[in-house]
Amino acid sequence: MTRRPLSRFSLVAAAVGLLAISAVNVAPSLAAEDAVVIPPPAVDDQAASGIQTAVLAGGCFWGVQGVFQHTKGVVNAVSGYSGGSQMTADYHMVSTGTTGHAESVQIKYDPKKISYGKILQIFFSVAHDPTQLNRQGPDTGTQYRSAIFTTSDEQKKVADAYIAQLNAAGVYKKPIVTKVGPLQAFFAAEAYHQDYLTLHPTQPYIAYNDIPKVENLKKIFADNYTEKPTLVSENKATN
């Protein structure tokens, strides 16, 4: 089933009404959801130098972006679209589930401070559930699929090996469905999608679905967590 365009905003509007009735301050009182503690990758990219790029898709890009904006070593994280053409890289079109795009996040990182394998460990552990096929939480459709868009042969090697390692270890109750394939292009999303978690922390969709991911990052990956997010609005390294 494909969600209608702007479905997340409809969900937010409905939830706002409920919160107004109950007068609950969601963000401070919400406990973090359970995350899956997983082993680090046995195979990692040891040769990378200079600022590197990872592109990941794991449901709504608001939460994935928010997690990596709070990750040490990440110099920028931009919400956008991958898997389709430039002509259809538009939120309203992508939301139909017919464009081939997945809501994705382009992550620029310093391999001296964080490795590609560590980024994947965070991605699989706290940023999303890699066993959900064409959905994530309340969002359904191929645009919310779990995917790794690799930018080098070494990234593909690390990603494939890590998925095989995690499946063999049985750390999830179901097999990982994440698709690994080469990045053809990444298109930045509209400005109003950028830094969404930071700008709207008490919006019900963010509070229920995404703030717990950042809390889990802080709890499980304390050494990789930074309190101050790296924001697109403050960062020019978007290409």
pLDDT at 8 over 80: no
* In the chain, domain spans: 7-223+230-234
Which CATH class, in words, describes the domain spanning 7-223+230-234? alpha beta
Report the 3 state secondary structure along 55-122: EEEECCHHHHHHHHHCECCEEEEEEEEECCCHHHCCHHHHCCCCCCCEEEEEEEECCCCCCHHHHHHH
The whole-model pTM stands at 0.87
Catalytic residues: 60
pLDDT-derived band at 174, boundaries 50, 70, 90: very high
pLDDT digits (tens, 9 = 90+) for 23-61: 233 333 334 457 999 999 999 998 778 999 999 999 999
pLDDT digits (tens, 9 = 90+) for 54-108: 999 999 999 999 999 999 999 999 999 999 999 999 999 999 999 999 999 999 9
